[in-house]
Amino acid sequence: AQSVTQPDIHITVSEGASLELRCNYSYGATPYLFWYVQSPGQGLQLLLKYFSGDTLVQGIKGFEAEFKRSQSSFNLRKPSVHWSDAAEYFCAVGANTDKLIFGTGTRLQVFP
């Protein structure tokens, strides 16, 4: 069965620092991978997705993620965090069904 693990429940960084949010998945074949962000009072917004091809994918708001098959990981990165990046981040995996499997989320706090 597919599953997604986000090991970090809560991360705090200083504004301008780099960021890496971890995501590990379990799936037998090549999955479809997503990162969503949820700001307070907002819905889930797609940051980026990986289906195939180049394993380094670029997303919105300066985020990128790298698919590493050998590590079953799809970590989200940003070189310099802005205060407006404070939000909850969800990794999700999809396969050949209608449903997305989400991780438990990582709450990012940014200090000035």
Which residues in 40-59 contact other proteins (CB under 8 A)? 41-46, 49, 51
62: contact with other proteins by CB under 8 A: no
d(CA 62, CA 81): 9
- Segment contacting other proteins (CB under 8 A): 12-20, 66-74, 75-83, 91-99? 91-99
CA distance 61 to 84: 10
Query: How many angstroms separate the Cα of 40 from the Cα of each of 44, 67, 87, 101?
Result: 10, 28, 7, 21
Stretch that binds other proteins, among 16-24, 53-61, 75-83, 99-107 (CB under 8 A): 99-107
Rounded to whole angstroms, the Cα distance separating 5 from 92 reads 9
Q: Is 89 in the site for other proteins (CB under 8 A)?
A: no
Contact 61, 45 (CB under 8 A): no
If one asks whether residue 104 binds other proteins (CB under 8 A), the answer comes out as yes
Residues lying near other proteins in the complex (CB under 8 A) are found at: 32, 34, 36, 41-46, 49, 51, 90, 92, 94-105
